[in-house]
């Protein structure tokens, strides 16, 4: 059965009735959700109120929350994606898919071969896309989309198991993760320069091969997140 999910940032979710204002209730209204049909309310901070539509109150609605789940669909530890900033809408797509795959943070990284400028002006849009993707995929919180940062700043602050997409690498062995989780780095369409790759390796990143074909950067991000979680045993 399909479930309508309504996003209500900052809501205090508990068992009982929750008033969903008109703007947040818009999706339920246009899809003609009737009283008694299943509805979920997401606070975008890790909690999901699961219940049914109790009634309409003008353009607002009231949801009868039967139970609250916390941390649904979240990885067991941080999963950070550093992706070279793409000047096309491909980065929009990558943010949506990274959200679906469980990324807890998405960092646009500025590398030598990144094209375009004013990437920072798009961060607010990327965060909105991540918020919307949470409602679509059913997890409980979106990744935080960071301000673009230079490559050196990104890898210097990386934590946990560190992996970089590298076509020439051998497939790493399965690994265990601690509380710091996994950091995955994917370069731009033109690839990372030899100097950048040497610095990344020196910062403790292991190579992560993504197959024998040439992938677009946004496709590589999806493949890298999936493979990293598989190697960590997070997909079981």
Same-domain check for residues 118 and 196: yes
Number of folded domains in the chain? 2
Same-domain check for residues 164 and 195: yes
Same-domain check for residues 62 and 129: no
Q: What is the pLDDT of residue 102?
A: 97
Residue 171 has pLDDT above 90, yes or no: no
Q: What is the mean pLDDT of the chain?
A: 95
Query: Cβ(52)–Cβ(66) under 8 Å?
Result: yes
How far is 119 from 98, CA to CA, in rounded Å? 18
Among candidate residues 12, 46, 70, the one where a domain is terminated: 70
Residue 227 has pLDDT above 90, yes or no: yes
| Nearest residue to 111 (alpha-carbon basis) of 67, 148, 71 | 148
Alpha helices in the chain (DSSP H): 22-30, 90-100, 123-137, 151-156, 194-202, 217-232
Same-domain check for residues 223 and 117: yes
Quote the Cα angle for 26-44-57, to 5°: 30
Q: For strands 38-42 and 47-57, give the pairing.
A: antiparallel
Same-domain check for residues 152 and 208: yes
Task: Please count the residues of the chain.
Answer: 236
Same-domain check for residues 58 and 147: no
Q: Whole-model pTM?
A: 0.92
Same-domain check for residues 66 and 84: no
CATH code assigned at 194: 3.40.1280.10
Q: What is the pLDDT of residue 119?
A: 87
Residue 1 has pLDDT above 70, yes or no: no
Mean predicted confidence (pLDDT) in 186-209: 95
Residues with Cβ within 8 Å of residue 194, at least 6 apart in sequence: none
Range of the structural domain that residue 22 is part of:
4-70
For residue 160, the 8-state DSSP code is S
Same-domain check for residues 87 and 144: yes
Among candidate residues 15, 38, 70, the one where a domain is terminated: 70
Rounded to a whole number of angstroms, the CA Rg of the chain reads 20
Same-domain check for residues 57 and 106: no
Same-domain check for residues 112 and 28: no
Same-domain check for residues 199 and 126: yes
Residue 194 has pLDDT above 80, yes or no: yes
Query: Cβ(235)–Cβ(229) under 8 Å?
Result: yes
**pLDDT tens, residue by residue, 2-53:** 899 999 999 999 999 999 999 999 999 999 999 999 999 999 999 999 999 9
Q: Around Cβ 44, how many Cβ atoms within 10 Å?
A: 18
CATH code assigned at 18: 2.40.240.20
Same-domain check for residues 131 and 200: yes
**pLDDT tens, residue by residue, 68-120:** 999 999 999 999 999 999 888 999 999 999 999 999 999 999 999 998 778 88
Mean predicted confidence (pLDDT) in 131-152: 94
Give one DSSP letter per residue of 86-123, joined into a string: PSSTHHHHHHHHHHHTT-SEEEEEE-TT---S-GGGGH
The number of C-alpha atoms within 13 Å of 113 and in the hemisphere containing its C-beta is: 14
Which region among 113-122, 174-183, 187-196, 221-230 has the lowest average model confidence (pLDDT)?
A: 113-122
Query: Cβ(210)–Cβ(220) under 8 Å?
Result: yes
Among candidate residues 70, 96, 117, the one where a domain is terminated: 70
Tokens read off for 58: 């003008």
């Amino acid at each position: 059965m399909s479930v309508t999910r309504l996003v209500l940032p900052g809501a205090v979710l508990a068992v009982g009735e929750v008033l969903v204002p008109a703007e947040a209730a818009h999706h339920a209204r246009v899809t003609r959700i009737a009283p008694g049909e299943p509805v979920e309310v997401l606070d975008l901070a890790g909690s999901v109120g699961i219940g049914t539509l109790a009634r309409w109150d003008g353009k607002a609605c009231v949801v009868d929350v039967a139970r609250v789940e916390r941390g649904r669909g979240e990885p067991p530890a941080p999963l950070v994606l550093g992706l070279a900033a793409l000047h096309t809408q491909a980065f929009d797509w990558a943010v949506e898919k990274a959200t679906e795959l469980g990324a807890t943070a998405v960092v646009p990284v500025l590398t030598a071969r990144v094209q375009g400028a004013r990437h920072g002006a798009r961060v607010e849009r990327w965060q909105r896309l991540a918020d919307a993707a949470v409602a679509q995929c059913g997890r409980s919180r979106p990744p935080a989309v960071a301000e673009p940062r230079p490559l050196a700043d990104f890898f210097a602050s990386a934590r946990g198991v560190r992996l970089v997409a590298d076509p020439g690498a051998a497939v790493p062995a399965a690994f265990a993760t601690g509380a710091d989780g996994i950091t995955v780095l994917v370069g731009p369409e033109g690839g990372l320069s030899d100097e950048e790759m040497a610095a990344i390796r020196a910062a403790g990143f292991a190579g992560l091969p993504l197959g024998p074909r040439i992938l677009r950067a946004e496709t590589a991000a999806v493949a890298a997140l999936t493979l990293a979680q598989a190697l960590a045993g997070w997909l079981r």
